[in-house]
Amino acid sequence: MNTILTILMTTVMTYEMPKLPYANNALEPVISQQTIDYHYGKHLQTYVNNLNNLVPGTEFEGKDLLTIVATAPDGAIFNNAGQVLNHTLYFLQFAPKPAHSEPTGKLAEAIKRDFGSFENFKKEFNAAAVGLFGSGWAWLSADKNGKLHITKEANGSNPVRAGLVPLLGFDVWEHSYYLDYQNRRADHINELWGIIDWDALGKRFK
């Protein structure tokens, strides 16, 4: 299992903010520093704070993040844990100058196998992200056999609820793009492809 998911499965006393591997302005013009400051610095910090306040004294105290998201009933703990997991994977999937513009290795082979081509995969993923009604996430995930799936997750849910391993996630809550793109969700989705760190995603696909 890759390092990120291994860390997320570690028994913890408190849940922490992920450390960005880039400066807050490094993803411009795709994602502005202002959006990173608010989305990462305010929204994600709030989810982390909420989760740390909600878990003590419950059956989930000391449990790792993936276990909470996979097993918690709908409610405040699940909602905040889901958003901590989602945003951790989200912010760590970007790079200012990715080494590759497309997936490579086993992930590239799996995308071609399951979607026909990388371009067709992008088309299907964009349709899921743009077509999701309201707030939520579009995810590319792998099942236990390595088959890839595109899912639409409402609000703060995550594919781990269905036993899948999340690989790539696009956040379509308005706070993720409104400062930069206003209501132009499709434009935002199209631009995100230019900052995907395919090497990082390849490590998630193990």
Specify the length of the chain in residues.
206
Binding residues: 39, 87, 171, 175
Helices 45-54 and 76-91 pack at an angle, to 10 degrees, of 140
Q: Are the CB atoms for 94 and 195 separated by under 8 Å?
A: yes
Rounded Cα gap, residues 76 and 79, in angstroms: 5
Handedness of CA 47, 189, 159, 136 (dihedral sign): positive
Q: Are the CB atoms for 4 and 201 separated by under 8 Å?
A: no
Residue 23 CB partners (closer than 8 Å, separation 6+): none
Binding residues for Mn(2+): 39, 87, 171, 175
